[in-house]
Structures are given as C-alpha cells and as structure tokens.
Structure 1
Amino acid sequence: MILVDTNVLVAAARTADTNHDAAAQLLQTLDEPPLVPPTVLAEVCYLLNEWGGPGAEVRFLRDLRPGGLRLAELTTADVARMADLVERYADLRLGGTDASLVAIAERLRIDRIATFDRRHFTVVRPAHVATFTLLPGITSS
C-alpha cells in the first residue's frame, strides 16, 4: 500500500505543473490504487477548484471510485497522533495534512508515501519504520 500526498495528485491533474510527468507516471504504474487521506482530499479539491475550476475538481473526485484512488479512514486516534506530531515537529511546521499521512501510515503500517515534499518526510521519524520510502524518486519542495 502507498499513501499519496496533495502535491502528487495536484501535479498529476495539472499538465502545467513541473512535476506533472513524474506524478502521472507514478500513479499509472502503481500496483494498486493509492490511499488518499480525507485531509489530502480536501486540499486537492480546494486547489484544483482554485486553479482549474469546478471541472478539474469533478474529474479528480470521479477518480475516487473502485479501481481509482481509495479514500483512507481518519480515526480519532489518528487525530490525536496528528496533534502529537504537529507539536513535536513545530519548528518544521509539519501541519495537519502531512501529520495525517504519518498517523495513517503508522496505524496501517505503510512505509511508502507518494510525495514531492522531501522537507517534511525526510525529517519525520515514524513509529513503525526508521524512515519512509518516498516516491517518485526525485526531489522538489
């Protein structure tokens, strides 16, 4: 399983994004649909609507179907863990969305995250593995 961050989904949807090709290729070559936390879903919807209008948002939402993207559950325990992570990494300004990716990854024991955000995810130390495997294998912030 792999969790996906906002920046990968936005880049895949926006052909003008500098990371579009890498994001689109990654999503097309995954063995199974990636998990999308509700926090990421909300960010992607907002950004796509701002940049591409309602049509861009609708196209993304239609991918949340069998065989497309899968929505991950966010539990009360995840939210408590998010608070701990945001507090622990306050100097990094981790934020709730990235903290939700970590919390869900820990609960489901997922070690792969699709993200271009190397600034946060190379610093955060998850409870279940030494480090996350970050895909695609390029850097951008």
Structure 2
Amino acid sequence: MALVLDTGVVYAALDAADPDHRACRRLIDEATERLVVPAPVLVELDYFIGRAGLVDVWLSFCEDVHGGSYAVSHIDSTLLIDAARLQARYADQRIGFVDASVAVVCEALGETKVATLDKRHFGVLRTAAGGAFQVVPDSDP
C-alpha cells in the first residue's frame, strides 16, 4: 500500500509555521503506507520552500528521500500523457500538471487515497473507475 503525497501536505509538514503543520506532520509520521512523492511535486515543493527561505528544510527533506523515508515516483511518457489527458478532461476546473500527476500516480499504484490539502480539485477528480479519491488529512485547510 502507498500514500501519494501532494505538495501542500509535504510543505505543511515541513514548515512549522504553516497552519496545517500539525495535521500534516502527524499524517506523515503515523502513516503505515509507503510514502510516495510524484516527481513534479518535488519541483513545486522546492519553489515554495525556496520562497519561504527554508533552505535547510529542503536539504533535510532531500536527505530523508535519499534515506528511503519517501519514494519518488517518476513520470514516464505514459503517465505524462495520462496527466495531460486528465487536465484536458477537467479543463473547466483548471487542474494543473502537478495535481494531475498526483492523480495518475495514484491510479498507477492502484490507490484511491491521496494526501492533499487541495480539496477543491481532488473533490472533483474521479478515478478511472469513476470513484472519488479519499482525501486525507480530514481537517479543512
């Protein structure tokens, strides 16, 4: 089993000043599933951490990834086109590439549970089977 992590959850877990820090830190610390970070999340995470000036936090996170605390899911050409098609299908919702990547990685892993603070987009997105994603943490952002 895997828990796919979106940018907001990882960022909040890393930034003690974030209002969702406690809930997201607890979610990650208590997860029994393998924690999976889609590669596009890393780019977005670096951007937000850099804007906040948390260079040491970024290094610590990368060391955790290197040490095996998180698995990075790379986006191959199949997942790339799946993400682009998902964006096109939900064009009216303006689903970005990172969110679409998170969704297709969930699909590729056979998971419906996703760790995200983006309830607006993930509340609308549906799995290939037509079901809803189970969004965690439960608390509102």
TM-score (norm 2): 0.93
Query: Hey, which of these two has a bigger chunk of strand by percent?
Result: 2
Question: Does the CA contact (< 8 Å) of 1:106 and 1:126 recur in 2?
Answer: yes
Number of the residue aligned with 2:78: 77
Q: Is 1:107 aligned to residue 104 of structure 2?
A: no
Equivalent positions of 1:5-24 (< 5 A) are 5-24=6-25
Q: For 2:59, what is the secondary structure of its paired residue? A: helix
Name the CA distance, whole Å, in 2 between partners of 1:88 and 1:129. Answer: 13
> Which stretch of the first structure deviates more once superposed, 5-14 or 54-63?
54-63
Q: Is 1:98 aligned to residue 99 of structure 2?
A: yes
In structure 2, list runs of 5 or more residues that go unmatched. Answer: none
Q: For 2:114, what is the secondary structure of its paired residue? A: strand
Q: CA 1:35–1:128 in structure 2 vs 1: closer, same or farther (change >3 Å)?
A: farther
TM-score (norm 1): 0.93
Number of the residue aligned with 2:62: 61
The Cα shift of 1:129 comes to 5.6
Q: For 2:74, what is the secondary structure of its paired residue? A: coil
Name the CA distance, whole Å, in 1 between partners of 2:22 and 2:80. Answer: 33
Question: Does the CA contact (< 8 Å) of 1:106 and 1:127 recur in 2?
Answer: yes
Question: Does the CA contact (< 8 Å) of 1:117 and 1:139 recur in 2?
Answer: no
Name the CA distance, whole Å, in 2 between partners of 1:19 and 1:63. Answer: 21
Q: Is 1:136 aligned to residue 137 of structure 2?
A: yes
Cα distance per residue 1:54-89 (max 9 Å; x no partner): 222111111103441111121211110111111111
The Cα shift of 1:107 comes to 1.5
Residue identity matched to 1:64? V
> Which stretch of the first structure deviates more once superposed, 58-67 or 18-27?
58-67
Q: Percentage identity across aligned positions?
A: 32
Cα distance per residue 1:10-55 (max 9 Å; x no partner): 0011111000000000001001331000000111112112203422
Question: Does the CA contact (< 8 Å) of 1:11 and 1:23 recur in 2?
Answer: yes
> Which stretch of the first structure deviates more once superposed, 103-112 or 21-30?
103-112
Number of the residue aligned with 2:47: 46
RMSD (Å) for aligned C-alpha atoms: 1.3
> Which stretch of the first structure deviates more once superposed, 13-22 or 127-136?
127-136
Question: Does the CA contact (< 8 Å) of 1:45 and 1:60 recur in 2?
Answer: no
Number of the residue aligned with 2:38: 37
